[in-house]
A and B are shown apart, each in its own frame.
Chain A
């Protein structure tokens, strides 16, 4: 028996996103573990996962909070990390243009790297899809797994001895995302320069090393792109 078209589009989004959960589950667990490590409780950890809902920026913010960095540095660093979503917002906007203001406001909240990449690929390939339902199927699945994973990570992080070095999983998650992000010469230079400057700048006051490293890497990538060498 086939359900109505509404459920088919939603189900297609859920189905297509499910292989990505293998990468999301450990990432979410690490977000919970990092929250414990930064001295946060369950309420703050879940509050962050619900209100921010952007993994890389959450991990960076947790690290800086744990090191007692000034709030402006914590917020500024997290926002720079999330600036990439401007591109996703612009790229997916034409697909949502026909919808009302409130629906678009809700869809925007769920925008993530994975939901964006899956949906735009599907919209280009299959124009019969209900766009918002397909997107909702994928994005809401990611949201649910992210919240459950965060809670599990808090429980795990509170129960495992420090000697196991579980927080080392944080840079490992970033490493798994970094390698495919360095896909050509300018992006590779941006990564190498960003990392090297961050290591040298690690001793800067106010925990500014991460922000300075990131901005240096962006500048280095642009310079290579412009000079073409």
Chain B
């Protein structure tokens, strides 16, 4: 068996990224746990923008995967990924369940790929 499991190709770029992200993320995790007593809490000026990190980042990760700006409005909107994403989004809103959201989104995508356009 070849492929990912058999891959032994050295990838320094990936390792540099992994170690750098890991070190900085650990610093974030440790920050106040380490400093408590010397710093009592997050200053309000830092706290306020942090509240918007999850919705802003998650939306920036999701939307470009569902929508690619096309030459025209119909070309942009008639996309199997967007339809699957909208249906999955409705399921996420109703259930707040990761598994149900993935199952629905993949199901709609496969419906388009293997049934509608087959």
Contact = CB atoms under 8 A, between A and B. Distances in A.
B49 A222 contact: yes
A165 B17 contact: no
B24 to A, nearest CB: 5
Interface residues of A, number: 105
Interface in A97-116: 97, 101, 104-105, 107-109, 111
A59 B61 CA distance: 9
A111 B57 CA distance: 19
Nearest to B68: A202
B59 A178 contact: yes
Contacts of B16: 71
Nearest to B96: A180
Contacts of B36: 93-94, 96-97
Interface in B64-118: 64-69, 81, 84-85, 88-89, 92-93, 96-99, 101-102, 105-106, 109-110, 113
A214 B53 CA distance: 7
A189 to B, nearest CB: 9
Given A40-B14, A222-B49, A172 B57 contact: no
Interface stretch (A42-50, A119-127, A140-148): A42-50
B66 A171 contact: yes
Contacts of B61: 56, 59-60, 171, 174, 198, 210
Interface residues of B, number: 74
Interface string B5-42: 10111010111111111101110111111111100011
B56 A154 contact: no
A108 B53 contact: no
Q: Which 7 A-B pairs have the closest CB atoms?
A: A217-B56, A221-B52, A213-B60, A195-B59, A195-B63, A51-B22, A194-B56
Interface of A: 22-23, 25-27, 30, 35-36, 38-42, 44-45, 47-48, 51-54, 56-57, 59-61, 65, 71, 74-75, 78-90, 92-94, 96-97, 101, 104-105, 107-109, 111, 154-155, 157-158, 163-166, 168-182, 186-188, 190-200, 202, 209-210, 213-218, 220-222, 225
